[in-house]
Amino acid sequence: MKYKRNKFNYFHKKETNTSLPISINGKKTIFLIFGLFLLLFPRYAAFEAQYIATDSYIQQAFIYMFFISNQTLGIIHESGHGVCYILPCPQFIMVINGTLFQLAFPLGVAYYYKQKGNLFATYIALFFLGFSLQYTAWYISTAHEGLHLPAHKSFLGVDGYHDFNYLLDTLGLLAYNSFISGLTKLVAYCLMIWAIVRMFFDAFRSKEITNQSLGD
């Protein structure tokens, strides 16, 4: 019997060559951009308690990056719900699927690049996983406001239902939404910080390795 090759082996095969297609200066630049973004996050993210609105160029740059990242994850979030509009999913699965898709996407990207040996890209994807968790934490924190989600708070700009009001109420955890939100936010910050630290060591270690190779 002839062995049939798995068409998806390419996605699971781990590369032995861990060289990155990003230059040393490119990695340093990316590290600085994401590091600055993280430092500004508590002050300029609209859903943070320390949020301050200014007309500075730094805040405007942060808002653009935040908007693009948030809208991208929002599209993925709604796609998760959309799958269950096509398939016969139970209501609980349909509601939670948005958040599952939103978290699974950057996690899947991180897994893919790790398997390819591209660790720097892995750290970028994990940073966005932390970013996604930040939004999830905010969403959970508003669950007590009710099942109805007004249009100005909805990604689609129309009235809808609050995912986590339904989910936490169904699980009997609605009264603990603040604690769950705080825990999720802590995990999000830890993940973002860890990703930034790994980017730093990866960028500057690459220079040391290159210098050693030239010396040999």
Whose tokens are 């809208």? That residue is 71
Distance CA(80)–CA(94), nearest Å, equals 8
- List the beta bridge partners of residue 161: 148
| Structure confidence at residue 144 as a pLDDT band (50, 70, 90) | confident
- For residue 38, with 0-12 CB atoms within 10 Å meaning exposed, 13-18 middle and 19 or more buried, which class applies? middle
Greater confidence (42 vs 12) lies with 42
Q: What is the mean pLDDT of residues 149-168?
A: 68
Cα–Cα distance, 98 to 81 (Å, whole number): 5
Give residue-wise pLDDT tens across range 105-118: 999 999 999 999 99
Note the residue count of the chain.
Answer: 216
Q: Which phi and psi angles does 121 have, rounded to 5°?
A: -65, -35
Show the tokens assigned to 102: 């939103």
pLDDT at 71 over 60: yes
Could you give the C-alpha distances from 55 to 43, 59, 64, in angstroms and in order? 13, 7, 13
- Backbone region of residue 157 per phi and psi (left: phi > 0; alpha: psi in -120 to 50; beta: other values): left
Per-residue pLDDT at 20 exceeds 70:
no
| Two structure tokens written together for 11 | 């996605």
pTM here is: 0.80
